[in-house]
Every structure is written in structure tokens, then in C-alpha cells.
Chains A and B, each alone.
Chain A
Amino acid sequence: MKKIFSIVLAVAMLATALFMFAGCGEKKVTNEIVVGMIGPYTGGTAQYGLAVQNGAKLYFDEVNAAGGVNGFKIKVVAYDSKGEDAEANTAFSRLVDEGMSAFLGEVLTGTTLAIVPDAFEKQIPMVTASATADAVTVNPDTGAVYNNVFRTCFIDSFQGIKMAQYAKEKLGAKTAAVIYQTGDDYAEGLAKSFVEECGKIGIDVVAEAAYAKGDVDFKSQLTNFVSKNPDVVFCPNYYQDDGMIITQARQVGLTCKFLGGDGWGNVTKYASAEDLNGCLYASAFDESDEKVKEFKAKYIEKFGADAPFNMFSALAYDAAKVIVNALQKATAVTPDNVKAGYFTSDAYKADVINAIKTQSGSIDGLTTNGYSFDEKNNPIKSITIVECVNGEEVSRGLY
């Protein structure tokens, strides 16, 4: 009896195995394009992960509702990384096995860095909405650019370039001074890119001053600026210092406009309204913009008012747009003539990567009008200009 049972079992197992092989051998013609997402959807950084996931899903759903990409539906597969490198790596391999054509993520810089080498090797088109480190798009050891990795958020130093251009173009500045905190990557990075850009576009940097962390007295440096009479002062530090610097600048008689980066958020709480009037800073995201307001309303309707909403939701929506736009441009088939394995083929992925790089200019995003990518695959995009007006921080739109 026992013997018979085991024979039956063995036959059954063999049959199952054969059946599975058969399934594998004949590739199914798919009418779906798989887009993978990984992010910390649980744990301490879930706020970011969920904001990115929801923002992106909102756009993918809109595209599907409108008929999809050339008639193909987008299938979004999202896995939780819990913010851990190992989880993120496993999830990524799984997505590759499931036939992913493009990848939106990762959310955190650390886990993104863990995935990037694998994504590069397999040449998966990848767009992150939130990882800002330089090493995300450039191999730090060799300096080689990861041709397949892009992002929709700008890197810090980009703001320095933009503010220099703004000073020249919109404020008519011919001279500028810079004051920044030394030893701080953020402030130094912005100051450096500002000065470099000034050199390129013809603004004369008449004075540069540094200060150490914890300093509260900036009058000596600012008094030196007064005699140089700059048209603008670029002050790319964090809001507390910026508030003190501007207050003291007015005290020593420096009356020109001060410009800053996104570290200025809430600066109006740290200096008086009169001292700050007319000062401007760069921001990644403008919640008062009509497009963003409309997006937020849809977002809340879909995910509820408790769902985390922040600038990464908007950047993820833009990242989804970049991906869909590229999928569309690269898809040369219709559901009638698609061949098995088309969407998972290396040729298709290469076309998508190329389309992201070269054909994102027309994207009407929430955070920019059009994307293009520089030689390091960092976005060249609009920034939001915020002006301090009578103690309020008022958006002046995209620049």
C-alpha cells in the first residue's frame, strides 16, 4: 500500500515538474508593461516611501485609465525595503525576475546606492524621485556615469547655479558676494556652484567670506562687504544662521538683496519682516501652485487625508511621468503585433534609457516645465523661487 502511494506521489511530482517546464518554455505574449517600485513602506522612513509610492501610483493609474501606453497597461509592482539594503537588493532581483521594464526608486539614498550597481549591470531604466547623493548616478570609485540611472529631484549644488542665473537674468545683478559656513557640505557646495556659475555668466564675485559652525557674529565679514557694494549676496546656509546674517547685514548698512537655497525654509521666523523684504530663495516644490493644489486634491481623494504628502509625492509623480513618457516613445509595437518578451528585452530597455535621456524635454511636471539631464544624469529643471514679503514666504513661480 505504502509503495503504491509513493509511486503515485512520484508520478504526480514529475507531472507537475514537467508542466512547469512546459509553462516556462512557451513565453506568454503579455499586454502589460511592468514598472517596479521599492521603498520603505514600513518603519521610520515610511513617510517618504509612501509619499513616493502614492504620488507615482496616482500617475500610473491615470495613464491606465486613459488607455495605457500605446494600448498596453502599466502593471505597478511595489515591494517594501523597510529601509534596509539587503531587503532592497532582494526585492530588486525579484522585480527583475518578474519582467520589469523600468524601475521607479529607491526612495532613500542609502538603499538606492545598494541597488544601483545591480540596476546598472542589468541595464534597467531607473528613475529616483528622492535620492540626492552624487554617487547615485556616478560611480564614486571610477567616476563613470551610470547611464541608466536618473533622478527628478535636483542635487543640492544645482540651486547655486540656478540662483546665479536668476540674479543675472531677473535681478540684473552685475556683482555678488558670498557668505557661507565652512565645513558644511551643503553650504559649501552651493557657494562653490554659485561662484562657478557667476564666472560663466559674467557676474563679478567681489567678496567671499566664510564662517565657522556656531558663529553668531558676522558683522566683520559683512562690514567688508559694504565697501564692495555688491548687487546681491548669496547666503546658502540654514535658516537660523541666515536670519542672523541678514539682521546684522542691515545693522552694518548692507541693504542689497540676499539670495539663498532651500535651507532658507521658515527664515521669516528668524529675522524681521523689514530686514528680509525682497530676499529670495530656491525651493524644490511650491504648494501654492495651481497644478500642485490640484494634484494634492486628487491625492487626498485617492489615499485619504492621513496619507503622507510632501514634496516627494510631487517629485514621484514627475518621475512616473518621465518613465511613462519614455516607455511611450520607445514602444514601437501595438497589442496586435507585439512579440513575446518584447518588453523584457535588452533592446527595449536600452530604448527606454535613451528616451529618458533625450526625450524628457516636453514633460509638463509638477515641479518643472520639462526635464533634461546633464552629463552626469542629474536633472536640469526649473526651481521654485520664493520671496520674503512682509514676513511671509511667497512663491514667485517656477524659474
Chain B
Amino acid sequence: MTTVIGQLINALQLGSIYALVALGYSMVYGIISLLNFAHGDIIMVGAYAAWFIMTSLNSFLPFGAVAAIAVVFSILICTLLGAGIEKVAYAPLRSAPRLSLLITAIGVSYFLENMAQMIFGAGAKSVPNIISIGSFHVGKMTVSWTSAITLIVSVISMAVLTVFVKKTKMGKAMRAVSEDVGTAQLMGINPNKTISLTFAIGSALAGIGSILYCCAYAQASPTMGSMLGLKAFVAAVLGGIGSIPGAVLGGFAIGLAETLVSSVGLSVWKDAIVFAILIIVLIFKPAGILGKKKIEKV
């Protein structure tokens, strides 16, 4: 029984990281129909930012202060990077075919990976644990604070995002632009600003994801974002790409699937199962669990 609950906690921790990353994918897709393949690599940059702060400031400042700076710095870097990439690489292609945008995104992804490799080397960097407060016991079971905090932080982030999108003016603008750019513009919404904002928010979530990722796996490497990004993409598609609750649902579902597969001793098949889910979803329910079926008008 403790094993089952332990596995469930593992699934929730893994799932919440996927969910945070999937949210970024989904929001960006929702607003400009772009699969932002560089999204996973933004997490990689965030992880390196955390590593940089944690290892360079720890001799001057107490641990708590360094950890706090690392969190803020990573999120800030990710936000700026996300918005910056949108301005430099995607904004000039606003009226270009969607395929060009997709190819650009792949290019940005490779650019970030190779740049990280050039600056930091190909090997992994060990990130000191930001949540270094051990674990607590529930009955006979050990639960690490890392897992608990990961779950809490992601739930809070998702709640805040939902409120933001539903209740604020900027959130309304985002929804309007994703419905119809032209009409939104006629209503006095600045689509460029709104799109930048969406990228910034998605990337800030990726920044939070990168911190939580580092807490769980404690390493930053140039290619860490690609597999994470792909799995989060599967999560977004499973939940229904473009849908915020769908991304969360998809993230947790993928986390659960991976944990389930590993816990029964098939860990080697983990990736295969995740991508099998993608194929099955695309065949039987391409719009995803919570996605809206759009009718293409000719």
C-alpha cells in the first residue's frame, strides 16, 4: 500500500512538471497556432541559470538567499528569453505560412542547445538542491519536501494562470486574440503585445518548471529540454492542444502513465509508451480529451 501511494506521489511530481511545460506549449499554440519546439530548451536555459546562481553566489550569501535569488533569476531569464525569441524569431514571420514558423522554432531549439553546449560544455552540471529540507514521514512512508513543494507550486501556478486568463482584461485579450486576431484588433486589442505577453507567461511557467525540474533531477545538460519538451508536447496533445485545463490534465496523465510503466518493471518501455499514446490520440481523438473540434472552413 505504501508503495502504491509512494508511486502516486512520484506520478504527481513528474506530472506537475509535465503540466507546467505543457501549459506553455498549449498557450502559445492557442494564440498563434505555433508548436514552439524551443519551449523545452527554455527550461534548459532556466536550469543553467539556476545552476549559475547556486554555484557562483553560495560563497558570499547564506543558502536561503542564494536559493531565492536562483528562483527569481531563472524565472526572469526564462520570461525574457521567451519574449525575446518571439520578438526576434517569430514576430517577423507573422504573415508567413505556418510551416515556416514551425521550422524557425526547430531552428531556435537547435540554436539554444548548441549555444549551451558551447558555453557550458557537453557534460551535465550538477545543480545543488534548492529545496534542501529533506523529507517528512506519513505513517511508514517517506515523502520528500521536494515532491510536496513541486506539487503545491504547480497547483498554485495553474490556479493563478486560470484566474488570470478568466478574470483579467489581459486574459480576456488573450482569449480574444486566440479566437480571431482580426476581430480582436478591431475591438482595440493590440495583438502583438498580447502575443508577447502570452510567450512571456508561458516562458515564466517554464522557468518555474525548470526550478522544479532541477530540484527533482539536480542536473542541467544542453539536451535536457528536448525529451522533456517532446513529452510535454504529447501531454498537451493528449489534453487537447490550446486548452489550459487540457494541458494540466495531459501532464498528469503522462506522469501517471510513465510511473505506472516503470513501477511494473517496464521502465525501458517508458518513452515508447508515451509516444504510443500520442499516436493513439492522433488516430482516435485528434482534438484531445478537452480540445474543441474545429471545422475547417474552405
A contact set with B: CB distance below 8 Å: 182, 209-212, 214-217, 219-221, 223-224, 226-227, 240, 243-244, 247-248, 250-253, 269-272
Contact = CB atoms under 8 A, between A and B. Distances in A.
B218 A271 contact: yes
Given A223-B263, A226-B142, A251-B135, 11 more contacts: A212-B267, A216-B224, A217-B10, A221-B263, A243-B218, A250-B144, A251-B146, A251-B147, A253-B144, A270-B124, A272-B128
A363 to B, nearest CB: 38
Contact of A251 (B144, B227, B267, B270): B144
A227 B142 CA distance: 11
B217 interface: yes
Nearest to A246: B218
Interface string B108-122: 000000000000000
A239 to B, nearest CB: 9
28 contacts: A182-B268, A209-B265, A210-B267, A211-B267, A219-B10, A220-B263, A221-B263, A221-B267, A223-B6, A224-B7, A224-B265, A226-B142, A240-B123, A240-B124, A244-B218, A248-B217, A250-B144, A251-B135, A251-B147, A251-B216, A252-B142, A253-B142, A269-B126, A270-B124, A270-B126, A271-B126, A272-B128, A272-B129
Given A210-B268, A251-B144, A224 B3 contact: yes
A240 B219 contact: yes
A217 B218 contact: no
B86 interface: no
A248 B10 CA distance: 10
Q: Is the interface of B mostly helix, strand, loop or mixed?
A: helix
A252 B123 contact: no
Range, interface on chain B: 35 or more
B144 A252 contact: yes
A227 B6 CA distance: 10
Interface in B121-158: 123-124, 126, 128-129, 132, 135, 141-144, 146-147
B2 interface: yes
B6 A226 contact: yes
A-B pairs, 4 with minimum CB distance? A253-B142, A220-B262, A251-B144, A219-B10
Nearest to A183: B268
A223 B7 contact: yes
B268 A212 contact: yes
